[in-house]
Amino acid sequence: MKVNLKKFFQACNPAKTLMVGNIEDQKYYIDFSVVRGGEIIQEMAQTISLLSPEPTCQLFTGHIGCGKSTELLRLQAELQRQGFHVVYFESSQDLDMADVDVSDILLAITRQVSASLEAAEIRIKPGYFNKLLTESIDFLKTPIELGAEAELSFGIGKLTAKTKESPQLRSQLRQYLEPRTENLLEVINKDILGLANKELQRRGKEGLVVIIDNLDRVDERCKESGRTQAEYLFVDRGEQLSKLNCHLVYTLPLVLMFSNDYLSLKNRLGGGKSTKILPMVPVKFRDGSDCTEGMVLLRQMILARAFPDLSTEQRLEFITEIFDIPETLDRLCRISGGHVRNLLGLMFSCIQKSMKLPITQECVESVIREERSELIRAINEQEWQLLSQVACSKKVDSEQGYQTLLRSLFVFEYRDNKDGVWFDVNPMLAEAAEI
């Protein structure tokens, strides 16, 4: 069966997030839950449905690029199927990830909820929140034209767009809103979320869910207090972020799982509930033996992008349409370490380099050498020593050095039913002479 090279190339784009509500994207989706230690999305959906109408706040994390956004979009689809009104958004659309504060997040949530409600023809006329919005704009002393009949989301959007592009205006707005954070929360809950919940209930909806993606990408620089931005937002101010009167799902940086403040995070923001972690897809077990199930699913992830309309068994018959030999595909799967975006990125680079099919072993090894060289340039001597220790012990701890390895994707986390939780060096680096 002939492969459409252009369509295959587009399907392997690592920057593309699968929209599981889209029929075409559904053909590319592979369910890795059986090798990731559990059905995380079903657990999160069940928590919301069983505790509703009481508000919930759940935390979700994992390595950058491990598939969190795709899974959160699955969560959105599942909850919508159950009758919830779900607002999903990428926080990086509204926020400058290098400089985020609690009031910024609250305004971003309010804007996105308002826009979603307006799209569903639910128009809320909040009294005091509009007054607070107008006072905030007056305080900034900068022209922001709202218009007499402007929608609520439009007004907040104009304000947040101005402050996102100007650090000075952002600082001024915080000076005004930070002392009023509790008041801001009360107004959002009463004027917007409270009215929204009543109208959604009247329409037969189960409740309101807000999924805030990409907050795991907040910059790790330290604030004046010496706390990282993530510690400040999710630990020190976590209780305020949890107080919104709806179901919340926040994405968090993975390094917070290794912080001495993790229990505080779990209690203040998560309400005592453990953070859900999306690990890598295992290509091997802790003892080094092959994880057959993980490899089977990773092969299918690539093959599905070439042959989306074939069954899993049929796709295997056409491996040599894409690769010179089946072992070439296995080499890509193993060297990715089960990091789904890395695997797609490697495949993307192979097609880029070759511009024809099948992909050869020589092409794959050339791409691997280039990728490894890029990674190695960023590693210092102390980090090589830590990597060697991880390779032997399969563990990491809360030391800053280990957190850097996780954040930089030099070390991957795995969870499976055989070995529980363990860590290993990115296979791309495990083959380097330094280790």
Return the pLDDT at 254. 93
Return the pLDDT at 425. 97
Side chain identity at residue 329, one-letter code: L
pLDDT band at 146 (very low <50, low <70, confident <90, very high): low
Nearby residues of 355 by Cβ (< 8 Å), 6 or more positions away: 5
Side chain identity at residue 81, one-letter code: R
3.40.50.300, 3.40.50.1000, 1.25.40.10, 3.40.50.150: CATH of 38-278 = 3.40.50.300
Which H, E and C letters describe 312-371, residue by residue?
Answer: HHHHHCCHHHCECCHHHHHHHHHHHCCCHHHHHHHHHHHHHHHCCCCECHHHHHHHHHHH
Portion of the chain with pLDDT greater than 70, in percent = 97
Q: Which residues in 252-261 are b (16+ Cβ under 10 Å) and which e?
A: bbbbbbebeb
The CA-based angle 297-303-304, given to 5 degrees, is 85
Q: What is the DSSP letter of 154?
A: H
Return the pLDDT at 145. 61
pLDDT band at 103 (very low <50, low <70, confident <90, very high): very high
- As a whole number, the mean pLDDT across the chain is 91
The span from the CA of 232 to the CA of 67, in Å, is: 26
Return the pLDDT at 435. 79
- Asked if the model's pLDDT at residue 345 lies above 50, the reply is yes
Please give the average per-residue pLDDT across 14-35, as a whole number.
92
- Asked if the model's pLDDT at residue 148 lies above 60, the reply is no
- Asked if the model's pLDDT at residue 37 lies above 70, the reply is yes
The span from the CA of 287 to the CA of 164, in Å, is: 48
Please give the average per-residue pLDDT across 372-399, as a whole number.
91
The domain spans of the chain are 1-37+279-435, 38-278
Give tens-digit pLDDT for 182-231: 999 999 999 899 999 999 999 999 999 999 999 999 998 888 788 999 99
The CA-based angle 129-134-138, given to 5 degrees, is 145
pLDDT band at 136 (very low <50, low <70, confident <90, very high): confident
pTM value is: 0.92
pLDDT band at 357 (very low <50, low <70, confident <90, very high): very high
Structure tokens at 135: 């006072």
